Amino acid sequence: MKVLSIQKYKKVSLTILLIAGFGYNTRIFSAHEIDLILESQTGKSVELASPAVNLRRMSLLMRGTIPRLQEVQTYTPEKHAQFAATFLRERDTAHYWSEILGSMLRDRSKMKGVPFAAFQKYLAESIDQNKPYKQLVKEMLTAKGEVDKNPAGVFYVRDDGDPLQIAEYVGRVFYGRRMSCARCHDHPYDKNFSRRDYYGLAAFFSQTWVQKNYTGEFLPRERREHFSTKDGKEYEARVREWNQNVRRKMNNKQWEKWRKQNALSYAVVAYEPALGLRFPYSDDAPGGDMVDPRFPYGERPVIDEGEDRRMVFVRWLTSRKNDRFRKVIINRIWTNLMGWSFFTPLDDWAPDSEVKYPELLEHLDKKFVEQDTRLKDLMYYIVTSRSFQRREMKSEDFEAVKTPEQKWELTVTNFPARRLNAYQVFNSLRRGSQSKTLRILSADGKEKELKFNGEGNLLYPLEKEREYENSVQIPKPVREHSFLSAFGAGQRQDVDDDESSLSIDQILELLNGRTTNTLWRSMSHDKDSVFRKNFEREKDMTDVYRLLYLSLLSREPGKDEMDLLQEISTSRLQANESKFNAEMLEDLAWSLANSKEFNHVF
Amino acid sequence: MFFNEQDSLSRASFLKKLAVAASASLVPGFLTASEKENNLSRTRKNVKSVIFLNMAGGMSHVDTFDWKKSSQFRGVRSSLKGLQIGEAFSRTAKELHRLNLVRSVHSNIGDHDGASAYLHTGHGRNNGFPDIPSFGGVIAKALDKGGAYFPGHITMGNKNRIIGKGGFLGNAYDSFHINNALQPLTNMKPPRNISDARLYRREKLLQKIDMSFSESIYSPEIKTWDKMHASALDFMNSERLQVFDLAQESKKNRERYGENRTGNAMLLVKRLAEAEIPFIELSIGGWDTHNNNKQKISEIASTLDPALAALLGELGSSGLLSQTLVVLSTEFGRTPHMASNGDGRDHFPRAFTTLIGGGGLPAGAVIGSTDEKGEKITADPVSVTDQVATIYAACGIDPQGNLKNSFGRPYPLAPGGKIIKGMV
């Protein structure tokens, strides 16, 4: 298969466009760079998916939920870009991406010393405002002070300010490199990553620690070892002095009182300028010396005495010439939207990792810089390409190709279906059932008091409720054995620990779970049910079935599906179609929600 | 074909028919590389089931199975010759001859999280590789007989980061977790108010909607979906579900184990072992006795002692013990001297105890010893890695073998672990 160079391909395409002249629908023959580059690589131009499929795909991947009924009824390919722009402004987009970034950053709604859900709120607001990504990262990595005033600092509280843990997570999440191996030994096959390099990265975070108990709290003993001898002596002298002049002057009761009065309501990210990091002692290597901060892969930073090392690190990380930082997040966003990755895993771009279509990644990086690293701008750029709107991958295509290269190319030119994640399942059930909220029920059916949110503002995790409009309101990590956990929502213990693999629990939850069973009943029995109201108007169950298909699958039922519905509902089990058939409604809703079609994005 | 109400189909057999229909479209599941590659072959096949009793929190050794004069409990005679154990476990004491006592287990990890990870994997905690499986997952996979789906890795009691994890072996080996032994199964049955006719109708509609979709749209995940759906129906209809029904035990037996949380859980453990479930873990918490050591241990023992004695007694007398490996262990021991508050004991990984036996292992042996205070090991130290190696070897799994993790890196099962003297 001969592949044209990009330049030549562009020339050819533009020439065709010019020759073709007026009358062409320019949206179909778009000159979107993403498409031009991919087409030059694969030698193929993509076929588009149907409008119904495109709308549903776009809605699920941008907003974490299936489309609204009126969107299904009004979307056309011409309005694609307009719909994309509208979606990006909606709060559901901020909700959904705060879940994705929250999972990446191991956010927990409940953390000791942190106001409830403070970090998630910070993420959601940052996304909603379309804050440049490099700004967001800068805020997190250079955060200082009380976390209720500066919730970006929760980034440090999460790992208790431990420089080694911070380095590992910064490495994985922002730099795209797993370095944990090097905590204990030189990297097995990457010569450029030794134990010293690991500690060199950690040294950037040596000055940061987390105060949790009371104002003016001193460094814990194990951190004080990392002062230079001179600074260490000075620090110890300060501690001694305080002990003599303050602590020892109080009896236990007074001390307890003092601690209470000076207790920190919330954790403080504290900064100790002279605090360094010593290389550990071990059997096989000398240690104990102060480690110089070192950028990954060996470059030496220039750090003035007493300067906040994190600032130096962030300047390097987010600098124009450090494309790696940008490409790591581009890859992540791209994978979520397009269904394939430039490199995997997303958090470990090794020197010998294969990178697919590096020119396209380069191009996206250039664009991302022009967009001032704003994530929603990047998303818009991606979803308005033809490649995003490419047709679904079909079984017969897959069976026809043999080699791995051909299989790969198929993924690029056809959209591979994948299972919905927990957030998409929850939000789609809620929207698809036309309910205002979805009530999570435990197996023994315990429910709590109802409360509704106000309109307009972002939704946030709720501490005590059980009814939710959006999955973002459920505190993270989700409770084990809860509805969301059955669908793989992770425990927020590791980066991206949401699971996308299928489990028996999910199937059982959909087949027999209380949460969904109650939902079907409310769809047929609630006075306010959209479906009942529809029947009251139309007096025809067939129209209700149609409404169910449009609500849950975002499409019209096919003829054979309608035929089966007729056949089944006119059995001697049911009466005629002009009587409201609550049971049939529930049964159809159950079937739609258990279908593979509902549970996948394609 | 309509459901004919005249037919005397029972609900269960009706659902079974649906399961068969679903299985007919079964396609081999899509496995990740590490799921496909990790084939565990066994050399020794005596063990059909492993019971792991996890004393969560750090069980004080000097007050229980490595009883010392400084214990807060009196010593009572045990069925292990010449050995006394803490009075709180006087009933279990009479059954100890069925197992072996290891008094010289040690580690250098003193925090719960790290020590529990070590206990369950033989490896120190490793943040870079979060998907390391618990030995429960490994054993469940090695002992997997295949066939219709039924969970092979079952956990009860509290979970933590490592308990119940199948890790890179795939979610088939994540544990099926039971929160309440009296109500172990949830979401297993359709709502009662849905008639069989409606169930039939639902499945028919579902098949219709699915049919055109899976015929056209491709994805490896969709194939897994079919497999899982069939597994779920298998599970729902499995005759083996009766194993979860404690009401099938005689009243006498239920009373012997104790009609309480621990007793019920232990009785369920026994039933699962009878059903030859490969790996069953029961976590008993409350052992972290930094204060009120005596009171808290008494409280735990009030239900644990009779339940444990009943379990060992029944496994022994029924002969089930010969095919069931039983291990009782903990993250670490506790300080032989009292803590500064006078009534507690703190973490002590330097020496602690494990009970291990059954599965064709010898019985009644006492391995290792500690000094008269219980502070120092005086003979035959057994590291936690050695303990894990022994458990694997008992199951016929080579402890020096490797698995492949999700990065393609070798994962050694119990590197350097030596089998406990004379056990396997």
| Cis peptide bond upstream of A345, omega within 30 | yes
Residue A345: its pLDDT value, please?
Answer: 84
| Cis peptide bond upstream of B336, omega within 30 | no
Residue A476 Ramachandran class (φ > 0 left, ψ -120 to 50 alpha, else beta): beta
Q: Give yes or no for residue A450 having a pLDDT over 50.
A: no
Chain A window 391-450: which residues touch B at a Cβ cutoff of 8 Å? 392-398, 416-419, 443-444
Q: Is A511 within 8 Å of B221 when comparing Cβ atoms?
A: no
Contact in structure between A405 and B210 (CB atoms under 8 Å): no
Q: Is B205 within 8 Å of A395 when comparing Cβ atoms?
A: no
DSSP secondary structure letter of residue A470 = S
Chains A and B form CB pairs within 8 A to the count of: 151
CB contacts of A419 in chain B (<8 Å) are 221, 225
Q: Give yes or no for residue B2 having a pLDDT over 50.
A: no
Spatial separation of the C-alpha atoms in residues A253 and B245, rounded to whole Å: 56
Q: How far is B236 from chain A (nearest CA, A)?
A: 9
CB contacts of B189 in chain A (<8 Å) are 512
CB contacts of B212 in chain A (<8 Å) are 558, 560
Spatial separation of the C-alpha atoms in residues B5 and B7, rounded to whole Å: 5
Q: Is A417 within 8 Å of B229 when comparing Cβ atoms?
A: no
Chain A window 330-349: which residues touch B at a Cβ cutoff of 8 Å? 345, 348
Tokens linked to A260: 């209470």
User: Containing domain of residue A297, as a range?
Assistant: 132-317
Chain B window 107-136: which residues touch A at a Cβ cutoff of 8 Å? 126-130
Convert the pLDDT of each residue in B260-296 to its tens digit: 999 999 999 999 999 999 999 999 999 999 889 999 9
Q: Give yes or no for residue B202 having a pLDDT over 70.
A: yes
- Ranges of beta strands (E only) in A377-423 are 418-419
Chain B window 223-242: which residues touch A at a Cβ cutoff of 8 Å? 224-225, 228-229, 231-232, 235-236
Mean pLDDT of B247-262: 96
Residue A278 lies in a domain: yes
Instruction: Provide the pLDDT confidence category of residue B125 given band limits of 50, 70 and 90.
Output: low
Q: Is B217 within 8 Å of A168 when comparing Cβ atoms?
A: no
Could you tell me if B193 lies within 8 Å of chain A, comparing CB atoms? no
**Number of separate domains in chain A:** 2
Residue A296: its pLDDT value, please?
Answer: 87
Separation in Å, CA A346 to CA A323, A329, B18? 15, 9, 41
Spatial separation of the C-alpha atoms in residues B261 and B285, rounded to whole Å: 12
| Residue finishing a domain among A299, A317, A335 | A317
Residue A141 lies in a domain: yes
**What SS3 state is found at A447?**
coil
Tokens linked to A132: 């440049």
Convert the pLDDT of each residue in B205-227 to its tens digit: 999 999 878 778 887 677 778 77
Q: Is A512 within 8 Å of B183 when comparing Cβ atoms?
A: no
Could you tell me if B201 lies within 8 Å of chain A, comparing CB atoms? yes
- Greatest Cα-to-Cα distance within chain A, rounded to the nearest angstrom: 92
Separation in Å, CA B326 to CA A144, B58, B284, B287, B312? 52, 19, 15, 20, 9
Q: Which amino acid is at A487?
A: F
Residue B175: its pLDDT value, please?
Answer: 86
* Structural domains of chain B sorted by starting position, each given as residue range(s) with its CATH number in brackets: 41-186+238-412 (3.40.720.10)
Residue A10: its pLDDT value, please?
Answer: 65
Residue A488 Ramachandran class (φ > 0 left, ψ -120 to 50 alpha, else beta): left
Of B130, B179, B219, the CB nearest to A494: B130
Could you tell me if A19 lies within 8 Å of chain B, comparing CB atoms? no
Q: How far is B67 from chain A (nearest CA, A)?
A: 35
- Greatest Cα-to-Cα distance within chain B, rounded to the nearest angstrom: 78
Q: How far is B15 from chain A (nearest CA, A)?
A: 12
Of A178, A443, A508, the CB nearest to B232: A508
Could you tell me if A568 lies within 8 Å of chain B, comparing CB atoms? yes
Residues sharing a CB contact under 8 Å with residue A555, sequence separation 6 or more, in sequence order: A52, A56, A72, A549
Instruction: Provide the pLDDT confidence category of residue A13 given band limits of 50, 70 and 90.
Output: low
Convert the pLDDT of each residue in A505-531 to its tens digit: 788 889 999 899 999 999 999 988 999
**Least confident interval from A203-207, A494-498, B378-382:** A494-498
Which of B124, B147, B122 is CA-nearest to residue B134?
B122
Chain A window 279-298: which residues touch B at a Cβ cutoff of 8 Å? none
Q: How far is B242 from chain A (nearest CA, A)?
A: 18
Contact in structure between B210 and A597 (CB atoms under 8 Å): yes
Residue A185 lies in a domain: yes
* pTM metric for this prediction: 0.80
CB contacts of A562 in chain B (<8 Å) are none
Q: What is the dihedral of CA A91, A93, A95, A101, to 10 degrees?
A: -150
Convert the pLDDT of each residue in A212-237 to its tens digit: 999 889 998 889 989 999 999 999 99
Residue A268: its pLDDT value, please?
Answer: 96
Q: Give yes or no for residue B110 having a pLDDT over 80.
A: yes
Q: Is A354 exposed, middle or buried (0-12, 13-18, 19+ CB in 10 A)?
A: exposed
**Least confident interval from A18-22, A442-446, B136-140:** A18-22
Angle at A245 between CA A239 and CA A251, to 5 degrees: 105
**What SS3 state is found at A4?**
coil
Mean pLDDT of B375-403: 95
Helix A323-338 with A133-141: angle, nearest 10 deg: 120
Convert the pLDDT of each residue in A40-61 to its tens digit: 999 999 999 999 999 999 999 9
| DSSP β-ladder status, A145-146 and A268-271 | antiparallel
Convert the pLDDT of each residue in A379-433 to its tens digit: 999 999 999 999 999 888 888 888 888 889 999 999 999 889 999 999 999 999 9
Residue A562 lies in a domain: yes
Spatial separation of the C-alpha atoms in residues A447 and B366, rounded to whole Å: 53
Q: Is B171 within 8 Å of A507 when comparing Cβ atoms?
A: no
Residue A91 lies in a domain: no
Q: How far is A332 from chain B (nearest CA, A)?
A: 18
Whole-angstrom Cα Rg for chain A: 28
Contact in structure between A563 and A570 (CB atoms under 8 Å): no
Spatial separation of the C-alpha atoms in residues A294 and B240, rounded to whole Å: 59
Mean pLDDT of A570-580: 63
| Residue finishing a domain among A317, A350, A384 | A317
Spatial separation of the C-alpha atoms in residues B26 and A153, rounded to whole Å: 50
Q: Give yes or no for residue A277 having a pLDDT over 50.
A: yes
Element (H, E) at A439: strand A438-439
Of B189, B198, B229, the CB nearest to A507: B229
Instruction: Provide the pLDDT confidence category of residue B10 given band limits of 50, 70 and 90.
Output: very low
Could you tell me if A600 lies within 8 Å of chain B, comparing CB atoms? yes
Q: How far is B66 from chain A (nearest CA, A)?
A: 33
Spatial separation of the C-alpha atoms in residues B400 and B383, rounded to whole Å: 15
Q: Is A568 within 8 Å of B217 when comparing Cβ atoms?
A: no
| Residue finishing a domain among A269, A297, A317 | A317
* Mutation target vs A (from B158, B183, B219; most A CBs, 10 A cutoff): B219
Could you tell me if B211 lies within 8 Å of chain A, comparing CB atoms? no
Residue A297 lies in a domain: yes
Helix A504-512 with A514-525: angle, nearest 10 deg: 30
Chain B window 132-191: which residues touch A at a Cβ cutoff of 8 Å? 149, 151, 159, 161, 170-171, 174, 176-177, 179, 183, 186-191
Residue B20: its pLDDT value, please?
Answer: 46
DSSP track, A116-153: TTHHHHHHHHHHHTT-BHHHHHHHHHT--EETTT-GGG
Spatial separation of the C-alpha atoms in residues A98 and A104, rounded to whole Å: 10
Residue A188 lies in a domain: yes
Residue A371 lies in a domain: no
